[in-house]
């Protein structure tokens, strides 16, 4: 009995001692949802953070409660700082309450910063145990600050949610998956380069306009929206994209792919000009076609046309990437995995000379309910 009392007493004392951990009560902190960084030259940036403010819409029952006691009063903070500075620390002194980055949804960089290099920003995020890995990154054509703080959107729903939802649903369709996770994979990995979607504010809404391709951490070029399908097709398997094919001038056919799969083969991986063979198979459905352009007999003919066209597009794309010396398709990684004792050091010299061969195998499995 005495033992018990002693034990209980000592544990109580200890627990009280340990009870000085700093809390972050859910409604007493400002939860940052989006960060935007604009480069203004000279290693200086304008940082912007937004946090949602959940002001309770008048609760029918709580007439006696008066104004919500804990609602936050600010929606965003913005200011200049140096590149690579943690924005949480930078704006803490302006914040109404403690800022927390644990629920960050999106991080935006403007093109200027992307050209300058994202090295410091990425290191910051990779070091932070709180930052979720499924957070989305994006490049903004224009100013991040304007995009995040504009008040002329159609609704007043926090903009971070809009951006994230937009990127996420694009990732399911034509755009290749781009989260912090995949960016870090390509950024730190050897023989590959990362990419990010490019977004832009257009009037009272946002739009995704293409894919920004990087050389390590530096922005190199932008892939326009209509080439992204080809890119994704060579990058990963997916099942929801839409490809618009102009088979003759002013005559379009749109394919909604039910399934694409890509496989790579490599020959002579250690020679000066390795041969890379990509084979793509597409199971597609036609959702839109120029009137009378397709029927049961013409199916195989169209298939052939599409195959030829896509293979040519793919080879053109890779050729362009080779010219720019960037490898967002992770071809180097494929060559490495197919080559024994892969010579990694000379790879960057050999990459532009590599021969890329692409074959596409399209099957139209459905043309809709009318002929």
Partner 1 sequence: MFWIKKNNDPAQSKKSIAKFIDQMKTNPDFSHFHHEGKQFSCWISFIVTLVDLEYVHRDLLPALYSDRVHSIEDIAKVLPADKLIRTKNLSEIQSGILDGSLMIRESAHSKECLLIPCMKKQSRPVEQSETETSILGPHESFVESLETNINLIRSRIPIPQLKVEELRVGKISRTRVSVLYVEGIANKENINTVIQRISDLETISLISSNMLYLMISDNNHSIFPQFIDTERPDRVSGALYEGKIAVIVDGSPNALILPSTIVEFFSAFDDYSLVWMLASAYRLLRLFAIGFSVISSPLYVALLTYHYQLVPKDLLATLIVSRSSVPYDPIIEVLLLEIMIELLREAGARLPTKVGQTIGIVGGIVIGTASVQAGITSNILLIIIAMSALAAFITPNYRMATTIRLIRFPFIISAQLLGILGIALCFMICVCHLLKLTSLGHPYIEPIYPLRVTDLKDSFVRLPLNLQTQRPLFLRTGDKNRANPQRVNKKEGKHSPDIDE
Partner 2 sequence: MYNKINPTHTIGPLSAFFLPQVMQIGIGFLSFQQIITKFSEQDGWLATLISGLSTLFVMWIILRLLENERHFGRPDIFSIHRRIFGPWIGNVLTFILMSHVLLFSFAFLRSYIEILQVWIFPQLNSFTFSIIFCCIVWYIVMGGLRTISGVCLLSFIYLIPLFILSIFIVPHAHYENLMPLFDHTPLSIMRSCYETTHDYLGFELILYFYPFISQPEKARKWAFRGVLTTIYIYTTILLLGIIYFSQGEMQNTIWPTITYWKSVRFPLFEHVDIIAIVILLWVLIPNICLCSWILARGIKFTFPAIKMKHSLIGILVVLITITCMVKNGLQVRTINNIYNGFGFIIIYFYLPLLLFCQWIKKKIGRQSA
Least CB distance from residue 67 to partner 1, whole Å?
8
The CA distance from 133 to 129, in Å, is 9
Considering only residues 190-209, where is the footprint of partner 2 by CB under 8 A?
190, 192
Choosing among partner 1, partner 2, none, which partner's interface includes residue 69 (Cβ < 5 to 8 Å by kind)? partner 1
Are residues 49 and 77 in contact, defined by beta-carbon separation less than 8 angstroms?
Answer: yes
State the alpha helices, DSSP H only, in the chain: 2-18, 87-92, 111-116, 119-127, 144-149, 159-172, 180-188, 228-235, 299-324, 331-337, 347-350
User: Which one of 120, 256, 309, 338 is in contact with partner 2 (CB under 8 A)?
Assistant: 338
**Residue 343 interacting with partner 2 (CB under 8 A):** no
Query: 34 CB contacts (<8 Å, ≥6 apart)?
Result: 49, 50, 104, 105, 106, 107, 108, 148, 159, 160, 163
Give the H or E element holding residue 208. Answer: strand 205-215
Choosing among partner 1, partner 2, none, which partner's interface includes residue 25 (Cβ < 5 to 8 Å by kind)? partner 1
**Judged by CB, which is closer to partner 2: 104, or 230?**
104
**Judged by CB, which is closer to partner 2: 39, or 191?**
191
The CA distance from 81 to 14, in Å, is 42
Residues that bind partner 1 (CB under 8 A): 1, 4, 15-16, 18-19, 21, 23-27, 29, 31, 52, 54-56, 59, 61-66, 68-71, 100, 102-103, 105, 130, 132
**Residue 17 interacting with partner 2 (CB under 8 A):** yes
The CA distance from 165 to 171, in Å, is 10
**Judged by CB, which is closer to partner 1: 27, or 244?**
27
Bridge partners of residue 261, in order along the sequence: 281
Task: Give me 16's structure tokens.
Answer: 């009280």
Choosing among partner 2, partner 1, none, which partner's interface includes residue 260 (Cβ < 5 to 8 Å by kind)? none
Choosing among partner 2, partner 1, none, which partner's interface includes residue 188 (Cβ < 5 to 8 Å by kind)? partner 2
- Distances, alpha carbon 37 to alpha carbons 24, 101, 293, in Å: 26, 15, 48
**Judged by CB, which is closer to partner 1: 135, or 233?**
135
Least CB distance from residue 295 to partner 2, whole Å?
39
**Judged by CB, which is closer to partner 2: 19, or 66?**
19
Q: Is 202 left (phi over 0), alpha (psi -120 to 50) or beta?
A: beta
Q: Which residues of 325-352 are buried (b: 16+ CB within 10 A; e: fewer)?
A: ebbbbbbbbbbbebbeebeeeebeebbe
Helix axes 299-324, 228-235, angle to 10 degrees: 90
User: Which one of 337, 346, 359, 366 is in contact with partner 2 (CB under 8 A)?
Assistant: 337
Query: 176 CB contacts (<8 Å, ≥6 apart)?
Result: 195, 211, 228, 231, 232, 235, 236
**Judged by CB, which is closer to partner 2: 40, or 184?**
184
Choosing among partner 1, partner 2, none, which partner's interface includes residue 312 (Cβ < 5 to 8 Å by kind)? none
**Residue 333 interacting with partner 2 (CB under 8 A):** yes
The CA distance from 245 to 252, in Å, is 6
**Residue 95 interacting with partner 2 (CB under 8 A):** no
Choosing among partner 1, partner 2, none, which partner's interface includes residue 181 (Cβ < 5 to 8 Å by kind)? partner 2
Size of residue set near partner 2 by CB under 8 A: 35
**Judged by CB, which is closer to partner 1: 106, or 192?**
106
| Residues engaged in binding partner 2 (CB under 8 A) | 7, 10-11, 14-15, 17-18, 20-22, 102, 126, 129, 132-134, 181-182, 184-190, 192, 264, 333-334, 337-342
């Amino acid at each position: 009995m005495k033992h018990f009392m002693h034990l209980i007493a000592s544990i109580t004392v200890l627990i009280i001692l340990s009870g000085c951990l700093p809390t972050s009560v859910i409604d007493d902190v400002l939860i940052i949802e989006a960060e935007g960084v604009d480069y203004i030259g000279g290693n200086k940036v304008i940082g912007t953070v937004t946090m949602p403010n959940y002001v309770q819409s008048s609760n029918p029952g709580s007439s006696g409660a008066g104004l919500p006691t804990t609602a936050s009063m600010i929606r965003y903070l913005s200011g200049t700082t140096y590149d690579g500075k943690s924005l949480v620390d930078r704006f803490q002194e302006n914040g109404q309450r403690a800022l927390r980055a644990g629920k960050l949804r999106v991080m935006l960089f403007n093109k200027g910063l992307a050209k300058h290099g994202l090295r410091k920003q990425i290191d910051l995020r990779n070091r932070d145990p709180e930052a979720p890995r499924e957070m989305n990154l994006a490049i903004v054509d224009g100013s991040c600050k304007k995009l995040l703080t504009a008040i002329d959107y159609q609704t007043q729903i926090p903009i971070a949610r809009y951006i994230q939802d937009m990127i996420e649903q694009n990732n399911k369709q034509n755009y290749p998956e781009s989260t912090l996770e995949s960016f870090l994979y390509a950024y730190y990995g050897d023989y590959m380069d990362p990419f990010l979607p490019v977004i832009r504010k257009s009037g009272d809404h946002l739009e995704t306009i293409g894919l920004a391709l990087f050389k390590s951490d530096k922005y190199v070029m932008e892939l326009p929206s209509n080439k992204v399908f080809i890119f994704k097709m060579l990058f990963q398997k997916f099942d929801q994209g839409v490809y618009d094919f102009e088979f003759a001038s002013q005559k379009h056919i749109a394919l909604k792919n039910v399934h694409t799969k890509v496989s790579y083969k490599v020959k002579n991986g250690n020679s000066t000009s390795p041969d890379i063979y990509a084979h793509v198979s597409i199971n597609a459905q036609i959702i839109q076609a120029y009137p009378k352009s397709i029927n049961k007999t013409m199916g195989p003919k169209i298939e052939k046309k599409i195959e030829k066209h896509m293979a040519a597009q793919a080879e053109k794309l890779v050729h362009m990437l080779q010219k720019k010396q960037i490898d967002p398709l992770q071809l180097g990684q494929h060559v490495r995995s197919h080559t024994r004792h892969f010579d990694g050091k000379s790879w960057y010299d050999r990459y532009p000379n590599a021969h890329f061969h692409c074959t596409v195998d399209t099957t139209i499995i459905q043309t809709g309910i009318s002929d």
